[in-house]
Structure 1
Amino acid sequence: MSNSAAPQGEVQLDLSDVDHRLGQLVGGGQLYDPCAPGDIRRWVMAMDYPNPIHWDEEFARKSKFGGIIAPQSIAVCLDFGHGAQPAVVGHIPGSHLIFGGEEWWFYGYRVRPGDKLFQERRFHDYKITDTKFAGPTMFSRGDTIHRNQHGTVVAKERSTGIRYLAAEADKRKMYEQKLPPKPKWTAEQIAEVDKVRHDWILSNRMGVSPIFGEVKVGDRLPRRVIGPHTIASFATEYRAFAFNMWGSYAWVAPEGVKDPWVNQDPGWVEGFGFDEEGAKIDPRKRDGLYLGPSRGHVDEEKAGEIGMARAYGYGATMGAWVTDYLAYWAGNDGFVRYVKSDFRGAAFEGDVTYFDAEVVETQAETAWGVPLVTVKVKLTNQDGAAVVVATGQVELPVG
């Protein structure tokens, strides 16, 4: 679906380079190296996901897996550009991007050290909506299929990118006007946050899976918390994505596609673009954090230029948080089959993010051929404002 007729007004998105790319396969970055144990450990550290089967070698060897395995959320870590590449297609002058949400389908394969993922990407569709944040705003969706080195389908992601005119968002300053001041946390409050975090870690550290027949509608999952978020934690998250290492990927294009979208400029505003030629000598010029579209995540001044008021976290990270949260509850014999996450707000610097979830349905027979438990998940900040609203379907053992 497309809707190239933007709402009437003085401000318009230039979609002249977008429409002819609808439904088309697109390119992007392909990692050179297979997944290493260090990649897994760095990823769960950045996601604050201390499940020992992903980082503790001795613990993992004694588990059913016989060694460290990757969390299901690793697929986005082993992709290029936070999985957003097929949702950011076409040059829109003066634009920027934030994430709007993700859907993930998982097909039963668990990534291990030595595996290498390959991506097939396609620009799915878009629509234009008038928003208080930035006026005419594009909600674009792109699909990525992840296969391993044997051709086995590991996962599919459908990402939603929110593309808007940075100058219009800066002019409206929605977050600057509505965002509360950066929280100041007392020692007692931090201790309370740490207790919730610690209790969640202990809630299923041994990986014991709930039995499908014993799970009931209305059951609540243990509460989780991450934060307070800081510039350091945002930088740690960004650096965990494998493509951010210098020289870690090559540009690839789909065969047989005329004018494929690979590494073209989406139209970033001044100060947020890359220096592709310069990066051949100095790789920091295509780093993304020091220079590039992710600068606003760790630089309050740059965040203000794109309408975000202060430093903030990553959409791909929030999606991974939800998958990890469900997987921890599911245990070693469970498996997350599907997650749909809608991003309702940002995890801003200074905030904490709470996770709460409830079982809303159980299905003994499903299209997956396995029993599934449907879980509603909500992530909120310390003021109760929604950050993510998600639905997950989790496979559990029958006994």
Structure 2
Amino acid sequence: MSDTLNRRYSGISEQALDELRSRMNHPITDTVEPWCYEVTRDNIRHYAHGIGDDNPLWCDPDYARETKYGDIIALPSFIFPCDRVFSGYVGGLPGVHAMFAGIDVTWHKPMQRNDEISTEAMLKDLIPHETRFSGLAIQQIYNVKFYNQFGDLCADGDSWCFRTDRDIAREQGTKYAEQKARGHKVYTEEELAEINHLYGTEEIRGANPRFWEDVNEGDTLRRMVKGPMTITGFIAYAQGWGGLYIRAHKMAYKLQKSHQALGINNKYGVPDCPERVHWEPDFASEVGAPGAYDYGPERCSWLSHTVTNWMGDDGFLRKLKAQIRHHNVEGDTLFIDGKVTRKFRSEEGKPCVEIALKGINQNDDLSIEGSAEVELPSRAKP
């Protein structure tokens, strides 16, 4: 670290790391309540619309009544509003920034309309990394299990954030030097027309089954677009997801009182939440980002959206792995592609495929990558 570093925020100390390590593998019981306890029609729709997904299986009860489920179900990524820890509400390392960075999830059964969801969470691991973004960064991994009111396990998996030193990222980080020098994107009418064409031709497979026998290794998924990114879009996601620290008036006071390092003064001298990086470009630059940027859970949800559009109502998303690689800032556009890399039967004999997923922005920067495992209907009798 340079002696000229202008220290404004807390750094990563060994003392704070030791305190955090002492929490590993213990149930977390003191987190804030989730945005959604219940899988209601409105909660499902608000979350789906927050990621730009209008699939009638989660949004239209009349349509869903004709499916095998008999009613709407929650889209797979609805697990995010059901648990704050899984969404990135990390503990420890006060004053150190947290950036959501990935998931590794298995779904066991759909969340049905009016299910009541409970969760169990624990801190699983802390892994140090040397990065171009902020020097030393700590990968903070949590494991969370999601249960319905009958005690059935609906989903379980890991999610993780990278804890980064705001001052080093702002003053010495090199990851976004070229992007900052390039400036923000301004779109031509032709570029917007290409994006709008992808929106206009987006296909929801729906009631038309995609049979396992008709899928081949090497098949590609229809390209999905998200963007151009706007602060309006980031806020639309927060409306359905709930955010981590967005509170008003007395509720903001109570949250900041219980977490003394949470509030960071805004330009009026008022302590405000660190989540402002998603709608205040100047504050985003304070943590080393090139501009106000999207939410990590939002981007993981876009990968699952790509898959659920492709697999149809009778498919089931069993697994999703996603690793976030690059910030999507205001003005960026994300293009998501998928390719079938494996066709197989599971240990239980289920007909499945594996799909490689990748999202790049308008400059061909890798934004997110991952893989999905999908169970498909078969023409053959069980």
Q: What is residue 8 of structure 2 aligned with on the other side? A: none
Q: Normalized against structure 1, the TM-score is what?
A: 0.82
Q: How far does residue 300 in structure 1 lie from its aligned partner after superposition? A: 0.2
Within 2, Cα distance between the matches of 1:242 and 1:115?
19
Unaligned residue ranges in structure 2 (runs of 5+): 6-10, 252-256
Distance 1:62 1:329, change over 3 A: same
Q: Percent identity?
A: 24
Is the aligned partner of 1:291 residue 2:257? no
Give the equivalent residue in structure 1 for 2:168: 168
Matches within 5 A, 1:310-325: 310-325=291-306
Name the CA distance, whole Å, in 1 between partners of 2:45 and 2:94: 39
Q: Which residue number corresponds to residue 265 of structure 2? A: 271
Alignment match, 2:320: 339
The structural deviation recorded for 1:242 is 4.3
Q: Distance in 1 between matches of 2:272 and 2:113?
A: 31
Instruction: State how far apart, in whole Å, the 2-side matches of 1:140 and 1:101 are.
Output: 11
Aligned equivalents of 2:136 and 2:78: distance in 1? 34
How far does residue 381 in structure 1 lie from its aligned partner after superposition?
Answer: 0.5
Structure 1 unaligned regions, length at least 5: 1-9, 251-262, 273-284
Task: Show the counterpart of 1:281.
Answer: none
More RCO (CA 8 Å, sep 6+): 1
The one-character-per-residue Cα deviations of 1:268-291 (angstroms, maximum 9, x if unpaired) are 57339xxxxxxxxxxxx9xxxx93
Equivalent of 1:84, from 80, 85, 88?
88
| CA displacement 1:161-198 (0-9 Å, x = unmatched) | 10011111111243552224221112222121011122
Aligned equivalent of 2:254: none
Quote the Cα distance in structure 2 between the aligned partners of 1:33 and 1:223: 33
Residues 339 and 390 in structure 1, CA contact (< 8 A), matched pair in contact too: yes
Q: How is 1:197-212 mapped onto 2 (pairs within 5 angstroms)?
A: 197-200=199-202, 203-212=203-212
- Report what 1:181 is aligned to: 183
What is the number of residues matched between the two proteins? 354
State how far apart, in whole Å, the 1-side matches of 2:67 and 2:12 are: 56
Residue pairs, 1:1-399, within 5 angstroms: 13-14=13-14, 15-27=17-29, 28-31=31-34, 33-80=37-84, 83-85=87-89, 88-90=90-92, 92-107=93-108, 109-174=109-174, 176-179=176-179, 180-200=182-202, 203-242=203-242, 265=259, 267-268=261-262, 270-271=264-265, 291-364=272-345, 366-399=346-379
Cα contact 2:25–2:124 (8 A) shared by 1: yes
Q: Does 303-312 or 368-377 show the bigger shift?
A: 368-377
Could you say what the CA RMSD is over the residues aligned between the two structures, in angstroms? Answer: 2.6
Alignment partners' CA distance in 1, 2:291 and 2:243: 25
1:119-154, CA deviations, whole angstroms, 9 ceiling, x for partnerless residues?
A: 100100111112111111101111010001111111
Q: How far apart are 1:207 and its partner, in Å?
A: 3.5
* Matched residue type, 1:333: D
Q: How far off its partner does 1:221 sit?
A: 0.7
Q: Please, what TM-score do these two structures have when normalized by structure 2?
A: 0.86
